[in-house]
C-alpha cells in the first residue's frame, strides 16, 4: 500500500510523514522479533530445541499486525506510532506464555495458543473495522444515552435465566451457540462512552462547590445523584453477579472521569468512602463477598486452602513468583502449570516465575508506556468529549492492570479480572482491541495538524524538490 498523501492546489500529492511510518514499521517488526525469540527460548527450555510451530506463530502474529499497520496507515496516518507496537508486544508475550503452558504443562486447564492466536486475528479484524467505520469518534457523543442503555443491558444479561451461566462462582457469563461470552467486557467500553458524554454535558453543575470541610470544597447535596447511582450499580454487580472485579472497575473509572471533568478532589474522597463502606456492608451481609476478604486476610490458613475460591491459587502464584526471584528461572524452565488458571487469571504470576521480578517490571513498564500514550492523547485532544473519553479509556486499562496485579500479589482481594491482551479468552481480548482502536482514532485526530499547516508543509516539500 502506498504512503498516505495530501493534495495541494497547483502541486503534486505530497506524502504524509514517511519517517514516522517507517519508524512505526521498524518498531512493529522489533516487537514480533522479541516474541519469536521468546518462543525459541520456551522450546530450548523445555526440550533443548527450537519449537516446530515457532515460524507459524511468528508469521501469523506478524501478518495480523502488518494488516493492522496497513489499515492504520491508511485510515489513521497521524496516530501515535507507539500504540500498535506496544500492544503487539504484550499480545505476543501472552501467546508465548499460553504456548508454554500448553506444551510444557500438558495444556493445564485448557490452555491453547492456537485458539488464542485465532482470537487475536478476530481482535485485529475488530480493530480494523472500528477504524474504518468510525471516521470521527465525536459521533459517539450523540450516542451517549444509547451507549449507557447498551452497557446496562450487557451488565444484566448474565442474570437472565436462559442465557446466564455461573462459572467459578461468578455469574458473569452468557452462553450462545455453544460459546461462552463475558458481556461485562463490552459493557465497560459502552459505559465509558456514556460517562464521557454525560460528564461533558453536566461538568459545570458537578464542579460547583457546596460547603467547605477543612480544606476541601464538598459538592452540593443535590449533585450527589450520579455518583450514588453508579455506586448502587457497582454494588449490584458485586452482590448479584459475585463480580468484585467489574464492580471495582466500573466505579473506579467513573470516579476518575468525574475528577478529570471537574478537577474536584472531593469527588475522589467521596468515591473512596462510598466504595469502602459498600464493600464492608456487602462483606457483612453476603457470604461470597466475605469469603473474598477472608482469603485475602488469611491466605496461609490451611482451612481455606482447598475451599472453592480458597487460597490455593493465590499461594501457588506467590510461591511461583518467589521461586522466580530477580531474574526468573528462564522461559520453559519453571513450573507455572502448578498454578491454577495460570493461563487466565494468574498469567502474571506464571510470567513472574520464569522471567522474575525484572521481567515483571519490564512488562509493567510496557503497560505504563501504553497508558501514557493514551493520557498524552487526552491532553492533546481539542474537544472536551475527546479528552474525557481518551482519559477514561486510558484509566480503564491502567486500573484493570492494577486490580489484577494487586490481586495476584495479595495487595488487594482477588477479583477474577484477566491481564489485558495476555490472558487466554476472547471476550476481554476483543474488548481491549476495540479500546485500542478508539485510542488510535482519537490520537489521529489530536495529532493531525490543521489543514492549512498540512498544505504549507506540502508546498514546502514540493519547492524543495
Per residue in 354-394, pLDDT (tens digit) is: 999 999 999 999 999 999 999 999 999 989 999 999 999 99
Whole-angstrom distance, CA of residue 112 vs CA of residue 115: 5
Environment class of 61 (CB within 10 Å of its CB; exposed 0-12, middle 13-18, buried 19+): buried
Q: Are 96 and 331 in contact (CB under 8 A)?
A: yes
109/276: higher pLDDT: 276
pLDDT score recorded for residue 256 = 94
Quote the cell numbers at residue 95.
501467546
- What number is the average pLDDT over the span 330-339? 87
By residue count, the chain amounts to 465
Which contacts qualify for 44-47: CB closer than 8 Å, 24 or more apart? Answer: 44/332, 45/104, 45/330, 45/331, 45/332, 45/333, 46/100, 46/103, 46/104, 46/332
Rg of the chain on CA atoms, in Å: 23
Q: Please determine, for residue 1, whether its predicted confidence score (pLDDT) is greater than 60.
A: no
pLDDT score recorded for residue 88 = 96
Closest-CA residue to 230 (of 269, 201, 192): 192
Quote the cell numbers at residue 412.
488487594
Backbone dihedral angles phi then psi of residue 241, each to the nearest 5 degrees: -100, -5
pLDDT score recorded for residue 58 = 87
Q: Please determine, for residue 343, whether its predicted confidence score (pLDDT) is greater than 50.
A: yes
Q: Which of 290-294, 385-389, 417-421 has the lowest mean pLDDT?
A: 290-294
- Average confidence score pLDDT of the chain: 85
Beta bridge partners of residue 174, listed in sequence order: 164, 181
Q: Are 219 and 267 in contact (CB under 8 A)?
A: yes
CA dist 229 → 42, 49, 457 (Å): 49, 57, 50
pLDDT, tens digit, for every residue of 2-41? Answer: 444 444 333 333 345 577 788 889 999 999 999 999 999 9
Would you list the domain boundaries of the chain?
18-76+79-133+286-447, 140-233+245-280
Closest-CA residue to 240 (of 286, 294, 277, 188): 286
pLDDT band of residue 462 (cuts 50, 70, 90) is very low
- pTM of structure: 0.89
pLDDT band of residue 105 (cuts 50, 70, 90) is low
Q: Are 189 and 250 in contact (CB under 8 A)?
A: no
Amino acid at each position: 500500500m502506498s504512503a498516505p498523501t495530501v493534495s495541494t492546489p497547483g502541486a503534486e500529492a505530497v506524502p504524509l510523514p514517511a519517517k514516522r511510518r517507517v519508524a512505526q514499521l521498524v518498531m512493529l517488526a522489533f516487537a514480533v522479533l522479541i516474541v519469536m525469540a521468546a518462543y525459541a527460548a520456551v522450546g530450548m527450555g523445555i526440550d533443548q530445541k527450537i519449537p516446530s510451530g515457532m515460524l507459524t506463530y511468528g508469521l501469523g502474529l506478524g501478518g495480523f499486525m502488518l494488516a493492522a499497520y496497513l489499515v492504520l496507515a491508511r485510515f489513521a496516518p497521524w496516530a501515535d506510532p507507539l500504540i500498535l507496537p506496544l500492544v503487539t508486544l504484550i499480545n505476543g508475550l501472552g501467546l508465548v506464555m499460553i504456548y508454554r503452558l500448553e506444551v510444557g504443562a500438558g495444556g493445564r486447564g485448557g490452555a491453547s495458543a492456537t485458539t488464542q492466536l485465532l482470537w487475536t486475528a478476530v481482535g485485529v479484524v475488530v480493530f480494523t473495522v472500528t477504524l474504518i467505520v468510525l471516521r470521527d469518534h465525536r459521533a459517539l457523543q450523540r450516542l451517549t444515552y444509547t451507549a449507557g442503555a447498551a452497557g446496562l443491558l450487557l451488565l444484566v444479561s448474565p442474570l437472565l435465566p436462559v442465557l446466564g451461566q455461573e462459572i467459578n462462582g461468578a455469574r458473569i457469563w452468557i452462553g450462545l451457540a455453544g460459546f461462552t461470552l463475558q458481556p461485562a467486557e463490552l459493557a465497560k467500553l459502552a459505559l465509558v462512552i456514556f460517562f464521557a458524554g454525560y460528564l461533558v454535558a453536566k461538568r459545570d453543575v458537578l464542579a460547583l462547590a457546596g460547603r467547605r470541610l477543612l480544606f476541601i470544597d464538598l459538592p452540593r447535596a443535590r449533585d450527589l445523584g450520579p455518583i450514588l447511582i453508579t455506586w448502587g450499580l457497582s454494588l449490584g454487580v458485586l452482590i448479584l453477579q459475585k463480580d468484585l472485579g467489574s464492580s471495582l472497575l466500573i466505579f473506579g473509572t467513573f470516579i476518575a472521569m468525574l475528577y478529570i471533568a471537574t478537577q474536584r478532589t472531593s469527588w475522589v474522597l467521596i468515591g473512596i468512602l462510598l466504595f469502602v463502606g459498600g464493600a464492608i456492608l456487602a462483606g457483612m451481609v453476603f457470604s461470597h463477598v466475605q469469603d473474598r476478604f477472608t482469603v485475602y486476610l488469611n491466605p496461609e490458613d490451611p482451612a481455606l486452602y482447598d475451599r472453592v475460591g480458597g487460597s490455593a491459587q493465590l499461594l501457588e502464584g506467590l510461591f511461583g513468583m518467589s521461586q522466580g526471584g530477580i531474574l526468573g528461572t528462564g522461559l520453559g524452565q519453571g513450573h507455572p502449570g502448578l498454578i491454577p488458571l495460570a493461563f487466565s487469571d494468574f498469567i502474571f504470576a506464571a510470567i513472574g516465575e520464569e522471567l522474575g521480578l525484572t521481567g515483571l517490571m519490564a512488562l509493567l513498564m510496557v503497560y505504563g508506556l501504553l497508558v501514557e500514550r493514551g493520557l498524552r492523547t487526552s491532553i492533546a485532544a481539542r474537544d472536551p468529549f475527546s479528552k474525557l473519553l481518551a482519559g477514561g479509556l486510558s484509566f480503564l486499562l491502567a486500573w484493570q492492570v492494577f486490580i489484577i496485579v494487586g490481586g495476584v500479589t495479595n495487595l488487594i482481594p482477588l477479583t477474577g479480572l484477566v491481564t489485558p491482551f495476555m490472558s487466554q479468552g476472547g471476550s476481554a481480548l476483543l474488548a481491549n482491541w476495540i479500546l485500542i482502536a478508539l485510542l488510535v482514532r482519537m490520537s489521529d485526530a489530536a495529532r493531525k495538524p490543521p489543514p492549512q499547516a498540512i498544505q504549507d508543509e506540502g508546498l514546502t516539500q514540493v519547492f524543495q524538490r
